[in-house]
Amino acid sequence: MLVFGGQVFDPEAHSRSLADVEIADGKILRVAPALPRDGYDAYVDASGLIVSPGLVDFHSHVFAGQDLAVDPDVWGPPSGTTTFVDAGSAGAHLFGAFRRSVIDSADSRVVAFLNISTIGTTSILLSGELRTLAYSDEDACVACVEANRDRIVGIKVRASGDVAGANGMEALRRARRVADRVSLPLMVHVGPKLPEVDDILDLLRPGDIMTHCCTGLGDNGLALEGELRPSALAAQERGIRFDVGHGMGGFDVTVARSMFAAGIVPDTISTDIHAYSTHTVLSFPSVLSKFLALGLPLEDVLSRATLGPARIVGLDREGVGTLRPGAPADLALLRLVAEPSAFVDTREHDFTGSERLETAVTVRGGAVVFDGRPTTPATSTDRNSS
């Protein structure tokens, strides 16, 4: 396959240039300007599009068949997403089912943070998984990680009052100990008290992740009355990573602006897509567009949805999030629409931007799995389009 005529975004060089992408056997062979256009089995005309590595959604819920989840192979292609990092849908007692039913069988690439609760996020509507503390079994979590090192990339705990009741701090301590025992990063969901966000940040170590960093839910976010907490700045300085996790309540534009004003930009932009957040997330490009509206340059936005998250979980070593030769041929061909665009955050604050991203084509493993362009000879993927 030859993907030709697009503005190719290389997150490793942090640059865009007019180039073609040559693909064979599901891998990227080379990226170069004006490659010869003869001898290919398929052609994708990327004229006027940005050719990016396939998007890596650092916070998702894709244990399909479970109450909370979406199907990665249904949600991913029209969103340009080729890799999903599941954020704790399954705990130790359900991870085997998650692996057999989704991780090992999905066409999309799926890796996961393991929930400290062995029952995982069974339901966010009925009762939090940390309210019965006995489910936060450290030994069971460690055993599960050791049996699934190839797919588990960290430990997740939803340390907030609405999930844990009075158990939040103890569940967080248990998750901390498990992460240390297995030498993997800890991802912590922050929400309504308790625990206090300052206490959560105190327990995090370099390489750990705070997700929902832009939340405005309650008074337990990183910003209060427009001012960023000193603990947030201190956490950034010692290497704590901040993830967006947009979801149903994870993105308040006023908090995001406070972070930007203080010099903190989230390390990863993610959707927190699940069965109850599709109406607020809309699509991965829709979430990315909100950060364009906040003034983040396009290259920075795309880096935080490709190479950035891939590096945190070690997938960059396999070429995920890159366009280097030998990397998986996963591509998101995105259209940058330059026109006034209206957005709304999860707190019903309206704001506007001057451009937005849309998915035009998604290539996964060297095959076109979504094509949202108008059907014309110029946009077909057969030989005649050259």
Distances 354 to 47, 132, 256, 294, 359 between C-alpha atoms, Å: 21, 48, 18, 10, 17
Q: What is the pLDDT of residue 357?
A: 98
Q: What is the pLDDT of residue 203?
A: 97
Q: d(Cα 263, Cα 255) in Å, to the nearest integer? A: 13
**Pairing relationship of beta strands 15-24 and 27-32 according to DSSP bridges:** antiparallel
**Pairing relationship of beta strands 331-337 and 50-53 according to DSSP bridges:** antiparallel
Residues with Cβ < 8 Å from 94, sequence gap 6 or more? 63, 66, 118, 119, 120
* pLDDT above 90 coverage of the chain, percent: 91
Strand, helix or coil at 279?
A: helix
Name which of 307, 270, 265, 268 is nearest 285 in CA terms.
270
Q: d(Cα 129, Cα 22) in Å, to the nearest integer? A: 47
Mean pLDDT in the chain?
95
| DSSP line for 219-234 | T-SSEETTEE-HHHHH
Please give the average per-residue pLDDT across 47-74, as a whole number. 97
pLDDT category at 194 given cuts 50, 70, 90 is confident
Q: What is the pLDDT of residue 125?
A: 83
Q: What is the pLDDT of residue 226?
A: 80
Q: Per residue in 329-376, pLDDT tens?
A: 999 999 999 999 999 999 999 999 999 999 999 999 999 999 999 875
- DSSP code at position 301: H
Please give the average per-residue pLDDT across 213-236, as a whole number. 89
Please give the average per-residue pLDDT across 130-152, as a whole number. 97
- On the question of pLDDT at 93 being above 80, the answer is yes
CATH topology of domain 2-52+326-337+353-385: Urease, subunit C; domain 1 (2.30.40)
Q: Which residue has the tokens 């259209």?
A: 335
Domains of the chain, residue spans = 2-52+326-337+353-385, 55-317
- On the question of pLDDT at 385 being above 80, the answer is no
- On the question of pLDDT at 162 being above 50, the answer is yes
Q: What is the pLDDT of residue 225?
A: 77
CATH topology of domain 55-317: TIM Barrel (3.20.20)
pLDDT category at 123 given cuts 50, 70, 90 is confident
Q: What is the pLDDT of residue 218?
A: 72
What is the pTM for the complete model shown? 0.96
* pLDDT above 70 coverage of the chain, percent: 97
User: 61-75, 118-132, 211-225 — which one is most confidently predicted on average?
Assistant: 61-75
Residues with Cβ < 8 Å from 372, sequence gap 6 or more? 78, 358, 359, 360, 361
Q: Are 148 and 99 in contact (CB under 8 A)?
A: yes
Q: What is the pLDDT of residue 131?
A: 94
